[in-house]
């Protein structure tokens, strides 16, 4: 299509937008629009015959390479599915669209973006999706991106774990026996990709008479490696080579590595939880077989394109979302910045360009958007961050970029259990791969890597600290700084807020519960919801406060006296005779005083002289002078009948329970105790009574948080453990939302198995904040679910128990106290003197387990040696948490600090 025709068509579509009543096809009499067949594969590294691999059997992709231009050095923008695909399909880097995880859909941040297929749809093309193009899972509100397509997508939204052989009759035999693989003698159509190939063929037949953008997304070679047996049989196991290099790069920073969970989760019963040598060869065999399987399906689609006579009018693009490790560097799967994960196969075959070309220039997946817009003469959005690759199609020996960029999070799948710590930015130039791992809190560079691909193409040694490369490091760092603008990493949530702001937001949503009628003896820790008056005088009579003798004070004004004992009165009996001068009544504590008595002397200051005539005898008093009113309480001195003795809002302590009984109130109105549902989440969590297996932990959070709830005066409802599975989580959370508060531990961030936010959103829970400037406890999540009578408060606490308890003490406890009817207030602190010097990393206020002691004159505190937020053992030896402010890193012995009682 010539440029003049393109301008004319764009002008017509402007008029379409303005007038809204004319539809113009994307071609004119002078030129015919190019169709686009857009073929994607999943997790395929450059393990293809056309890329020089001598083992892989990929004749159909090799044939496409012979018809088009193969890009030798193409790189993804993040080596995990959702960010990579979202970046390619929007033409924007992951940081720009703020997509770094699996659950977050790009339209949550950028709802008005025009995607690559959407651009073609807007320009009159039939845009259709068959298979996996956008991310395939954990985005239920979107399920792909319907806005991008002309018709509903097919086989695009599912889990790789559901790709099991679908056959009639008996389930097929699996001849593999190795985890994460499957070898069944079944037809191609038993699995997703065989059916996708047929759907793509059907689609080609249906759209052949109109301009089309047909995206065909195959699910393989993504694990599990389960192609039909015939593709395994293409390879002899003895030809499959072990990984090279097998060891991690020399001097590699730990941040560059990851736990390889996608594959290793199937090998928990193996030594060190890793595939054995035999397992490794089987996995690599299965990966090759999966490549050949998907290659065969691509061949079917390409054959149909040619059979229909569409090849000369169609641009065919082939790409993978990222590479893959198969044991190299000790790693499995993706989620690194190494070459094996970052580099991808890309082939573009156009009718007008020479076939069999090889472009050596550096390119990125996000370049495909502007390239296709350019090749089809469409006006692309101005904000695209890629470049058209047309110059390399025209001149494959040229270049369009000096460097390309890949990035990844650490941990590889951030979550509440494993909070986002760093982003690794990796820059690939002609000779080097340079990587900076940057803190997401303050941006400082935590680690660097440098690999020299001229000397070390397998990236076996990190040269960042090699003095020979000092100048190179400076130059590459400057180049990266000039190119990459790092965002503020709020990780798809609200910004990390100070604890004071978090408390303010909680106070806005926490409300006292309704009053209930309750037995006074059961009301301990509750808040009185009514004023209480006395129905009696207290005491109801003048009474003695000591065991001893009731006397007339004037008789004992000198401190000594000899008085006749008139009678004995015990508690519960009334005197029978009035008292006069010279007389005394033996009396017990609490007993009524006889008339005429105005004081009492203690029995310890007296001796009794017996009476030979059988009377009670005389009492001899030898003590201090006695005045009227000593050791006696007058009637109604404590309270009078009708007097208000307790006020609504009073906290009911044991003394209030006793007072209620004294005034005859066996039942009272009090603010109801909050019912708090407690739920632990995670596949790795097992009940406390269970012996944990490899990679499992006991559920300490559940009992810890339930007992914490009791200590706050609330009623725990223990929901047990919910695994990382949508249905189970939904059922458990639904039960929890029936309570006044739901407290979850773990699973509320956006890691690969953190499904809780999705379920909470589906169930109508509105997020208020996520992440607090607090250590431990930063990932804390808070939201509310509106109910008919009251809102349910939802707290998502860290999966590590110490972080959960600290966040609970500082954030959940004030909410519970307020729901119990008490004034909203932060957890109280007290002052103490450091007994030893202390240093911390800063960045966030830290609450450190410590031991407080007092010698009666000074309160001192000693921080304990603590091993992090999973270390309950050390916390059990502590009786306080010392608050170390973020802005001060060093504290001297003798310095005054604040502490919170445990």
- 3-state secondary structure at position 513: coil
Catalytic entry in 50, 76, 81, 712: 81
> How far is residue 332's CA from residue 61's CA, in Å, rounded to a whole number?
25
Q: What are the tokens at 653?
A: 């302590």
What is the Cα 378 distance to its own chain's centre?
41
What is the Cα 229 distance to its own chain's centre?
40
- 677, containing H or E segment: strand 675-681
- 433, containing H or E segment: strand 432-439
- 97, containing H or E segment: helix 94-97
Catalytic entry in 105, 126, 129, 135: 135
> How far is residue 550's CA from residue 482's CA, in Å, rounded to a whole number?
96
> How far is residue 270's CA from residue 286's CA, in Å, rounded to a whole number?
19
Q: What are the tokens at 630?
A: 């000593």
> Could you confirm whether 848 is annotated as catalytic?
no
Alpha-carbon Rg for the chain, nearest whole angstrom, is 39
Q: What are the tokens at 95?
A: 């940081």
Helix runs in 161-276, H state only: 192-207, 229-232, 261-264
Burial class (CB in 10 A: 0-12, 13-18, 19+), 285: buried
Q: Are 766 and 714 in contact (CB under 8 A)?
A: no
> How far is residue 551's CA from residue 631's CA, in Å, rounded to a whole number?
11
- 3-state secondary structure at position 80: coil
Peptide bond into 749 cis (omega under 30): no
Q: Are 556 and 622 in contact (CB under 8 A)?
A: no
> How far is residue 433's CA from residue 427's CA, in Å, rounded to a whole number?
6
> How far is residue 787's CA from residue 741's CA, in Å, rounded to a whole number?
12
Looking up tokens 């961050």, which residue turns up? 385
- Identify the bridge partners of residue 371 per DSSP, sorted by sequence position: none
Q: Are 518 and 794 in contact (CB under 8 A)?
A: no
Say how many C-beta atoms besides its own lie within 10 A of residue 659's C-beta.
21
Looking up tokens 């602190």, which residue turns up? 829
Per-residue b or e along 187-210, where b marks 16 or more CB atoms closer than 10 Å to that residue's CB: ebbbbbbbbbbbbbbebbeebbee
Residue 286 DSSP class: H
Phi, psi of 373 (to 5 degrees): -60, -40
Q: Are 292 and 192 in contact (CB under 8 A)?
A: no
> How far is residue 344's CA from residue 324's CA, in Å, rounded to a whole number?
9
Per-residue b or e along 847-874, where b marks 16 or more CB atoms closer than 10 Å to that residue's CB: bbbbbbeeeeeebbbbbeebeebbbeee
* Nearby residues of 161 by Cβ (< 8 Å), 6 or more positions away: 224
Concatenate the DSSP letters of all residues of 735-775 into one string: HHTTSSEEEEES--S-STT--HHHHHHHTTPEEEEE-BS-B
Q: What are the tokens at 7?
A: 């301008």
* Nearby residues of 69 by Cβ (< 8 Å), 6 or more positions away: 347, 348, 349, 353, 357, 358, 359, 392, 393, 396
Residue 630 DSSP class: T
> How far is residue 429's CA from residue 811's CA, in Å, rounded to a whole number?
48
> Could you confirm whether 867 is annotated as catalytic?
no
Q: Are 116 and 372 in contact (CB under 8 A)?
A: yes
Q: Are 41 and 221 in contact (CB under 8 A)?
A: yes
- 3-state secondary structure at position 691: coil
Catalytic residues: 81, 135
């Amino acid at each position: 299509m010539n440029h003049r025709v393109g301008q004319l068509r764009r002008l017509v579509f402007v008029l379409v937008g303005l007038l809204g009543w004319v539809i113009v096809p994307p071609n004119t009499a002078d030129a015919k629009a190019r169709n686009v067949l857009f073929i994607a594969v999943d997790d395929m590294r450059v393990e293809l015959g056309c890329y020089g691999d001598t083992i892989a059997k990929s004749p159909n992709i090799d044939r496409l390479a012979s018809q088009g231009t193969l890009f030798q050095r193409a790189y993804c923008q993040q080596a995990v599915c959702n960010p990579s695909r979202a970046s390619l399909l929007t033409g924007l880097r992951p940081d720009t669209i703020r997509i770094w995880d699996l659950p977050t859909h790009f339209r949550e941040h950028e709802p008005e973006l025009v995607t690559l297929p959407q651009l073609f749809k807007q320009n009159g093309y039939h845009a259709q999706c068959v298979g996996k193009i956008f991310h395939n899972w954990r985005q239920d509100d979107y399920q792909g991106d319907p806005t991008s397509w002309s018709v509903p997508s097919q086989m695009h939204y599912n889990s790789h774990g559901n790709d099991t052989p679908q056959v009639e009759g008996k389930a097929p035999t699996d001849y593999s026996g190795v985890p994460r693989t499957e070898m069944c003698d079944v037809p191609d159509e038993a699995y997703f990709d065989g059916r996708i190939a047929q759907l793509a063929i059907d689609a080609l037949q249906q759209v052949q008479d109109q301009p089309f953008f047909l995206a065909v997304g195959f699910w393989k070679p993504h694990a599990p490696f389960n192609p039909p047996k015939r593709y395994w049989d293409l390879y002899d196991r003895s030809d499959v080579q072990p990984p090279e290099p097998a060891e991690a790069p020399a001097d590699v920073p730990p941040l560059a590595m990851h736990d390889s969970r996608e594959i290793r989760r199937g090998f928990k019963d193996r030594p060190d939880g890793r595939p054995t040598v035999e397992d490794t060869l089987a996995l690599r065999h299965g990966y090759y077989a999966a490549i050949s399987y998907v290659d065969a399906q691509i061949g079917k689609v390409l054959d149909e394109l040619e059979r229909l006579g569409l090849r000369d009018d169609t641009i065919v693009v082939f790409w993978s979302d990222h590479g893959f490790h198969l044991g190299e560097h000790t790693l499995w799967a993706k989620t690194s910045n190494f070459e094996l994960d970052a580099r991808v196969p890309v082939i573009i075959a156009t009718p007008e360009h020479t076939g069999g070309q090889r472009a050596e220039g550096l390119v990125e997946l996000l370049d495909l958007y502007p390239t296709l817009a350019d090749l089809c003469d469409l006006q692309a959005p101005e904000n695209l961050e890629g470049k058209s690759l047309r110059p390399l199609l025209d001149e494959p020996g040229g270049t369009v970029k000096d460097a390309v960029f890949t990035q990844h999070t650490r941990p590889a799948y951030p979550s509440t259990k494993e909070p986002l710590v760093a982003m690794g930015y990796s820059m690939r130039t002609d000779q080097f791969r340079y990587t900076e791992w940057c803190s997401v809190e303050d941006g400082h560079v935590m680690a660097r890597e440098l690999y020299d691909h001229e000397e070390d193409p397998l990236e076996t040694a990190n040269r960042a600290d090699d003095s020979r490369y000092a100048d190179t490091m400076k130059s590459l760092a400057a180049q990266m700084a000039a190119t990459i603008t790092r965002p503020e990493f709020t990780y798809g949530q609200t910004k990390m807020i100070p604890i004071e702001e978090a408390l303010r937001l909680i106070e806005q949503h926490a409300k006292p519960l309704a009053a209930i009628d309750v037995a006074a003896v059961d009301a301990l820790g509750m808040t009185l919801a009514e004023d209480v008056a006395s129905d009696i005088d207290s005491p109801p009579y003048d009474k003695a406060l000591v065991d001893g003798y009731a006397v007339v004070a004037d008789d004992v004004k000198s401190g000594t006296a000899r008085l006749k004992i008139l009678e004995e009165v015990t508690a519960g009996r009334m005197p029978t005779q009035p008292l006069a001068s010279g007389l005394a009544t033996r009396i017990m504590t609490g007993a009524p005083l006889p008339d005429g008595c105005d004081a009492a002397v203690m029995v310890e200051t007296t001796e009794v002289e017996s009476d030979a005539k059988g009377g009670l005898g005389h009492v001899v008093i030898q003590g201090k002078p006695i005045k009227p009113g000593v050791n006696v309480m007058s009637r109604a001195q404590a309270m009078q009948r009708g007097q208000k003795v307790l006020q609504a809002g009073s906290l009911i302590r044991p003394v209030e329970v006793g007072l209620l009984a004294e005034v005859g109130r066996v039942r009272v109105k009090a603010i109801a105790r909050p019912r708090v549902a407690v739920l632990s989440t995670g596949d790795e969590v097992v009940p406390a009574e269970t012996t944990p297996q490899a990679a499992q932990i006991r559920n300490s959070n559940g009992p810890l948080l339930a007992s914490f709830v009791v200590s706050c005066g609330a009623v725990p409802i223990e929901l047990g453990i919910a695994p990382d599975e949508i249905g189970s989580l939904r059922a458990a959370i639904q039960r929890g939302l029936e309570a006044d508060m739901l407290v979850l531990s773990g699973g509320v961030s956006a890691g690969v198995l953190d499904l809780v936010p999705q379920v909470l959103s589906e169930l109508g829970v509105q997020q208020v904040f996520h992440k607090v400037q607090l250590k431990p406890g930063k990932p804390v999540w808070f939201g509310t679910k509106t109910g008919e009578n009251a809102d349910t408060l939802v707290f998502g606490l860290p999966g590590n128990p110490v972080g959960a308890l600290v966040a609970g003490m500082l954030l959940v406890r004030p909410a519970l106290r307020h729901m119990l009817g008490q004034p909203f207030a932060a957890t109280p602190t007290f002052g103490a003197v450091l007994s030893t010097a202390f240093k911390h990393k800063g960045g966030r206020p830290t609450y450190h387990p410590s031991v407080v002691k007092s010698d009666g004159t000074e309160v001192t505190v000693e921080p304990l040696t603590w091993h992090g937020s999973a270390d309950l053992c050390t916390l059990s030896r502590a009786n306080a948490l010392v608050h170390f402010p973020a802005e001060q890193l060093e504290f001297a012995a003798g310095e005054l600090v604040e502490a919170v009682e445990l």
